[in-house]
Chains A and B, each alone.
Chain A
Amino acid sequence: MKISKTAQAGALESNDVLVTVAPNEKGGVQVQLETKRVILKQFGKQIEQVVKDQVAEMGAEDVTVKVQDKGALNYTIRARVQTALERALV
């Protein structure tokens, strides 16, 4: 499934994450993660994988996912990615 517009979900608040999805002209799923260095170094790979898995589970193709993380746990990341993609399809 391809998305046609940009959409956002979540918030830039402690323990949360602001997810922005947009169509990726270059094709494929690209994740851009912004978070504190100390989180990036310890959980960066894991967070990227969680995002990619959620995108795949929803069958979305050719999207860029910008993830501005404020220390969110995996379930929050999944939920926000899900909501952003649902909003991008409306």
Chain B
Amino acid sequence: MKRLRRSLLIISGNNPKHIQDAPVFDPDVVIFDLEERVAAPDKDSARNLVREALSFLDYSQVEVMVRVNPLDTEEGQKDLDRIARVKPGALIIPKANEQVIKQAEGLLTKIEKEEGFPEGSIEIIPILETASGIENINQLISSSPRVTGLWFNGEGLMAEFGTQRTKEGAELYYVRGRVGIACRAAGIDAIDTIFSDGNDYEGLANDASAARRLGFTGKLALDGRQVDTLNTIFQ
């Protein structure tokens, strides 16, 4: 947990305006999303756009992370290969388990060698969004030294349960507690799930504070308006 990861602004990797504007809000991290926020026919387009953006725009004031597609898909494999070569700070891996992380670790080591990057310079942030992932959290954390944070995605978990989130978030208390403690014990960042009402600043503050009290060190921001609140609360 060397640098601050209080606010993680997530944007679609296929949206030039959001890509250009992201650093302006002073988030600690910008997440370029190639998965959920990019439609299937546009995956190749987004991958190229993110690559070109990282070579052209100034992201020196933020940490760059990219959420790739699941690594058991062709898109995911292409994402990892092409994006690693422009040296993001970290790759965010969906549907993460011990085996997937170990595979990513191997690929990244190989690419770093080929490109002349220092080994281990590209970190890995697995996404916790399944019951089994949460149940095996400690194995996941220790699957690779590249894992310096975990992102708990509440929406994914609710989808598995077949229910929906509530604003107050009581349904997340146990999971947040589990994740917060496991990450703290391992000395890595615990990143909280998104608060989906962009107009409700008070609700965001309450939700973020609750996560903080359970050991989280940062939270996803769905747009620039949420960044200031998160930077303050996770200070």
Note whether A and B contact each other (Cβ less than 8 A).
yes
Give 3 nearest A-B pairs by CB, closest first.
A75-B56, A79-B52, A79-B49
From A14, A72, A73, A83, B44 is in contact (CB under 8 Å) with A83
Taking the complex as formed, is A9 at the interface, i.e. its CB lies under 8 A from any CB of chain B? yes
A79 near B45: Cβ-Cβ < 8 Å: yes
What is the size category of the interface that chain B forms with chain A?
Answer: 10 to 19
The interface centre, meaning the residue of A15, A75, A78, A82 with most chain B CB atoms within 10 A of its CB, is A75
How far apart are the CA atoms of A78 and B49 in the complex, in Å? 8
Taking the complex as formed, is B17 at the interface, i.e. its CB lies under 8 A from any CB of chain A? yes
B44 near A76: Cβ-Cβ < 8 Å: no
Can you offer 20 A-B residue contacts whose CB atoms are under 8 A? A14-B17, A72-B16, A73-B16, A73-B56, A74-B56, A75-B55, A75-B57, A76-B52, A78-B52, A79-B49, A79-B52, A80-B45, A80-B48, A80-B49, A82-B48, A83-B44, A83-B45, A83-B49, A86-B48, A87-B44
Q: Which of A27-83 contact B (CB under 8 A)?
A: 72-76, 78-80, 82-83
Which residues of chain B come closer than 8 Å to A72, judged between CB atoms?
16
Task: Describe A's contact surface by its main secondary structure.
Answer: helix
B20 near A73: Cβ-Cβ < 8 Å: yes
Which residues of chain B come closer than 8 Å to A82, judged between CB atoms?
48, 52
The interface centre, meaning the residue of B48, B51, B55 with most chain A CB atoms within 10 A of its CB, is B48
From B16, B44, B48, B51, A16 is in contact (CB under 8 Å) with B16
How far apart are the CA atoms of A16 and B52 in the complex, in Å? 14
A79 to chain B minimum Cβ distance, whole angstroms, is 4
A74 to chain B minimum Cβ distance, whole angstroms, is 7
Taking the complex as formed, is A23 at the interface, i.e. its CB lies under 8 A from any CB of chain B? no
**Beta-carbon nearest neighbor of A72 in chain B:** B16
Taking the complex as formed, is B53 at the interface, i.e. its CB lies under 8 A from any CB of chain A? yes
From A10, A75, A80, A86, B53 is in contact (CB under 8 Å) with A75
**Beta-carbon nearest neighbor of B17 in chain A:** A15
Q: Which of B41-85 contact A (CB under 8 A)?
A: 44-45, 48-49, 51-53, 55-57
